[in-house]
Amino acid sequence: MPAGTQSIQRVVRILRELGARNREGVRLSDLVQSLKLEQPTVHRMLRSLVAESIATQDPATKRYFLGQAVYELGLAAGHRFGLKSLCEPILSSLSTRTKDTAFLAVRSGDDSVCLDRREGDSPVKILTLAVGDRRPLGVGASGMALLSAYPEDEVRRAIEANSSRLAKYGENDIANLVARVLEAKDRGYSLRDLPGYEGIRAIGMPVLDLQGRPICALSISTLVGRLTGENFDDRRRLLQKHCEAITRLTPDAR
């Protein structure tokens, strides 16, 4: 491994952990435990990130968060990666047609990231994810739909890589999660009753390009009664229609 590569990889892992828990912040001890690195090493890297405004520390709680520089870099990168803009009218259409909350998610390493969200007209707002939230692949309707688009060996590898993080999201049985992702692959969509949100159900589908490669995932979250019987069939068809609309907008389809 070239000199310096290991340090770069460690910094990237720290940033991913901060991103995954940016709303509540992360303690130094949590990072040491999750990354399995020595405390002086993690602390030294955090100090450097804070000095460059890539991370910030709350003086009261001592928790670390992503810094202003990450936001600025994200704005600059957004002009290069236009998926969010491409999908905006389709995501809005999905939330309008279903009257439910619609989500757009993409893969980032072994995580899924909520790239965008649109709220429907339903009086009950299901806001289970905020834009920028990260979850381990396989968790939630979007993460399960994304992972289901990959070969079985990649499904197993990603879930195993995330094994230490899954319990936090109500996934305590790795074999069961693998089986449910493979089931979602077979039927073409994921269906999930959300842990911690009684009476809430979500359905997700992967979006593929013309070569069958995964691009992103769309999902909707709503009350259980709106995802049963004929209501379920209507929403599944609408979700599939909107996924196909994104496929037609990809560069290969033009």
Nearest to 209 by CA among 170, 158, 246, 239: 246
pLDDT given for residue 26 in this prediction = 92
Contact between 42 and 28 under an 8 Å Cβ cutoff? The reply is yes
pLDDT given for residue 128 in this prediction = 78
Query: Tokens 């399960």 belong to which residue?
Result: 144
pLDDT given for residue 138 in this prediction = 93
Taking the model in full, what pTM does it have? 0.73
User: How many C-alpha atoms does 234 have within 13 Å on its Cβ side?
Assistant: 12
Helix (H, G, I), strand (E, B) or coil at 99: coil
Query: Tokens 């560069």 belong to which residue?
Result: 251
pLDDT given for residue 146 in this prediction = 96
Q: Which residues contact 33 (CB under 8 A, 6 or more apart)?
A: none
The pLDDT tens digits of the residues spanning 90-133 come to: 999 999 999 999 999 999 889 999 999 999 887 777 777 888 88
Nearest to 192 by CA among 134, 254, 128, 133: 128
Q: The tokens of 193 are what? A: 């009753």
Q: Which helix (H) or strand (E) holds 134?
A: strand 134-136
Which value, in Å, is the radius of gyration of the alpha carbons in the chain?
Answer: 19
Query: Tens of pLDDT along the chain (254 residues)?
Result: 565 788 898 999 999 889 888 888 999 999 999 888 999 999 999 999 999 999 999 999 999 999 988 877 876 666 555 788 889 999 999 999 999 999 999 998 899 999 999 998 877 777 778 888 889 999 999 999 999 999 999 999 999 999 988 888 888 899 999 999 999 999 999 998 877 777 889 999 999 988 888 999 999 999 888 888 898 999 999 999 999 999 998 765 54
The residue type found at 29 is S
Question: Which DSSP symbol is given to 189?
Answer: S
Helix (H, G, I), strand (E, B) or coil at 173: coil
Show the domains of the chain with their CATH numbers.
5-74 (1.10.10.10), 81-253 (3.30.450.40)
| Alpha-carbon gap, residue 178 to 156, rounded angstroms | 6
